[in-house]
Structure 1
């Protein structure tokens, strides 16, 4: 079997930035360890440690763009991956150009996010679409939407600042997933800061405000349209039921895609439990199982339409599977159960 390192390396189609996003770090990775990792390539001027739901992601900012490019290029072509405490670390350019330290109210981490939806059709984004997007990171307590001079905005309340920070780090600057919106709605971008609020006041459920912790709140007539959108979506089509198992179809396969390649790609978003590869209608497909639906949602939104290799090769198309627990009878080059310690036979 060809090793992962002998293949062109997976990367995001993200423009270069002085700030690099690191995934799969050891628990409670320190600033000193991040500086040590970047030191061979230049001066690390800022870091942001222990971000993400599992506190295993980080950002490092190098002194200039060329240093960041050198670091990404080195590990993209090296047979030795970036490592911290013996653990393989995945690097990509961040969608931010600098790391902003907590200096203003908007940058002080809180449990309520202020979300500005940018786009000519921003006002057509329903409260239920926002709920689907932010629920990928944890239980959403309340949402209120309103219009200000800054545009169409929402306040999203989580139970704690850590969950809110995970959502902000992952979604700030991102486009709302296309599959959640009607075809006639132009792309909408999320700009996210922290709010000074800690507990939103929601007096009734409506198309502008929801309290997901109180099922006994009175419902305004206007909420009925919104609640139907929760199941049907804005375009009237039924939303795809979410699952912890993703079905990946791979097109334009100019390079071999192995289990190890798929595991590396999908592990960037959380622990992969099982993978099963198979051929269908002349194309390679794979089922990838995560421990929970939230992780699968994040992976699907991040990877849909991305290519595993440079040049548009091995493009991923993802959907939710009806499976929830894959049955892996044998660990081989087409299927593997990563929850079993012994990589030999699952069932002798």
Structure 2
């Protein structure tokens, strides 16, 4: 195969002709509309999640490239995965199709050295990766296998499990540490191989996990490796399952250090094309429940970010419904407003409807599918007023009602009590499962500890402990006798009016007193 044939395969005349007929599957893929400054290493990284890449030919002047996979199956998987929406490279959508060629013969081409250097980097690790990037035009060598990640606008909880599954697409993830610095959600992540870190950075940098939020800003860390002492929801060593859970509460007391993510947060489960690098299995440590919520169905991939990462639908396959079916609640104890208050902990409740023929069943419409799934994950199976609550996603797209249902329906679309009006607010960063300990805020200066304890005791609950925050007396922690009592106290006392325009705000906390 001559060099002229290789270059004309991507030409406009040839392209317009082949677009009128389906191409036969081939292990050689043709990539179009690439950024003008794309590198061989970036092109290779697009194929890595699907299998071994055996050759690459970059045609920079035409903004095109050819990528040869080790098998036709790997190429087919890659094309199938990117058919709904091509990959995004430097915010530019890439078009991928089968080439007319069955293999690449590039030994006689001047650009072969760069392509082979990028391939050797994938296979040989740190030293080869350094040479490959240097060959691409003076790029800085990779300092190591540790990435520093800043998540911009973290509107939804980001968990270690979620990060592990996202970044495992590009290699074996050894350790992850989550922390907050300068009011920014940050992550340190260590790969087994520096080239894995290189590929992850090239593909994921600038992409968003969910639509319009949780944008990843990735750079190489100066650290050569990470030291993890505890396996909990803030740090994890996937090579050491014998590490203790440790104390994860101390950092949470400061309001400037929000607790991102929760132990029972939504866990992503990729159902992508066969041939993807599967995430490492997580062995549960005692006292650390991380349940994976199986959700049937999925929606098509968009092109707003990396395929499979652009929205929570594409990460966990959430059905397109924001309506919840809530059953088996105590209708004599819980009102429509009580349901609004409880489910409002996990999202903005738009409507609540008690079923006319079954007053122990209700439909609750959340603002979006993400918040609906958060409510299912945290509230299903909780015991409230002597009943075990059953919460699931409904088949309806919206809550509707007839005139005879008017007294059983309330519209909260414009409620001033919505907790999640502003994306990235501290409320969205501190979502916690129901617990014995409640976090109180907006406490007036004239309210004493004894008055607050008496207030909560009037709900029939046992107050086990109470303390104000040292740095902010407008906030406090109160520990109830049980999780059920804490839930009931939140329902009854959230937005309690102290007078003088002071209203109590209550949420669940993972801290203990």
Q: Structure 1 length normalisation: TM-score?
A: 0.46
Larger Cα Rg: Structure 1 or Structure 2?
Answer: 2
The one of the two structures with greater contact order (alpha-carbon pairs below 8 A, sep at least 6) is 1
**Hey, which of these two has a bigger chunk of strand by percent?**
1
